[in-house]
Chain A
């Protein structure tokens, strides 16, 4: 079975600073990897996804993520954080034999200091 770990429960960065959110997954084959963002009281919005091919994927809102098979990681990055990026971020993994079932990490809550 697949699993996802997001080691950082809370992260605080200053507006304009760079951001990296960590995600480690466990799955025997090539996973489908996703990052979602959730604002308070809202559903989840897909930021980006990785299925295959180029290991650096670009997403919406200026986010990118890099798939590193050797480290079983899929870290999310943004070069310059905006106050509106404050939210909770979830990494998720899907599997080829699991239909549309996603396994989510515990989430990382991002706070942005002015």
Chain B
């Protein structure tokens, strides 16, 4: 079974631009969660989608948004990029509606210049 895939793997953007990251979960998984990983703040939860509904949201500004499609694929969008948004963005998928095994993708490395 294919794992979680994230595209693109690497991205360079300029301050003020916006960016969209994509995540395709493992087939049959209906939950997709997003995390931001930085050296200073570590791994921080962004949001979770289950069956196209946002179920949880972390403590991030409204510039960070996401959505999930009927095929469970998910996108996250960051508008008006700031230098501090440079990070590894990880997506995780799970079959269940609550804390069961999650499988992480390789991440998208976003660099904001």
Q: Which residues of A contact B (CB under 8 A)?
A: 32, 36, 41-46, 49, 51, 90, 92, 94-96, 98-107
> Closest approach, in angstroms, between the C-beta of A68 and any C-beta of chain B?
20
Q: Which residue, A36, A92, A96, A102, has most C-beta atoms of chain B within 10 A? A: A102
Cβ-neighbour of B42 out of A32, A42, A51, A104 (below 8 A): A104
The verdict on B64 contacting chain A, using a C-beta distance below 8 Å, is no
The tally of residues in B whose CB lies under 8 Å from a CB in A reads: 28
B104, A100: Cβ atoms closer than 8 Å: no
- Chain B residues lying within 8 Å of A106, measured Cβ to Cβ, are 42
Q: Which of B21-71 contact A (CB under 8 A)?
A: 31, 33, 35, 42-45, 48, 50, 55-56, 58
Please state if B42 and A99 are interface contacts (CB–CB under 8 Å): no
Also in contact, A101 and B56, with CB within 8 A (given A44-B90, A107-B42): yes
A46 — nearest CB in chain B belongs to which residue? Answer: B101
- B99 adjacent to A102 (CB under 8 Å): yes
Query: Within 8 Å CB of B74, what residues of A?
Result: none
Contact B43 A100 (CB under 8 A): no
Whether the Cβ atoms of A101 and B58 lie closer than 8 Å is: yes
B98 within 8 A of A: yes
